[in-house]
Structure 1
Amino acid sequence: MNRTAPMTDQQLDRLARKRASAKMGWFIHAFVYLCVNAGLALLAWGGGRDWHLFPLAGWGLGLAIHGLAVWLGTGGSGLHDRLVQAERERLAGK
């Protein structure tokens, strides 16, 4: 069985900073998305057309994928960490 040593305070700090930076990057991305698409909607509304929906949908898909990578990936919400912990507990029980 391969057991890893507990993380040092420095390693925990580095990982926490990396995850916080990834989440902050997503928040900035979401803010820019909202601002730009609100501006595009105002431009489209003034012209009476719905062309702004195409960049809204395309960029929205990119924002959603970015969010999945940040919040559900290895550096996000901790899903990976919870799965690893569950496996450790399962293996320790044997």
Structure 2
Amino acid sequence: LSLSDCYAEDDIYRVVSERLATKGISKLYLCGKRGRIELSRLDRDASLANELFDDLQRGDVVKVEGLTQKGAGWRIGKEARVVAALADKV
């Protein structure tokens, strides 16, 4: 099953990379209905709404709301939400 088969929403993604961490920023690659995207969060933008981003690992399925486009990728800001998708659907 693909994510498209399990979820109608456009904001559901599967993590397809290991974490790429550099000074002040963390990045992951995710796949969903938009295709493969680069998702990043600045350390200063960490918040309760997006704290799950810190624990994401390859294979996890998440819902990400409130992204902003930044160059060729997408950014999680302080107000963006990252929540676990229902595991029983995949």
TM-score range, shorter chain: under 0.3
Bigger radius of gyration, 1 or 2?
Answer: 1
TM-score (ref. length: structure 2): 0.23
Q: Which structure is higher in helix share? A: 1
TM-score (ref. length: structure 1): 0.22
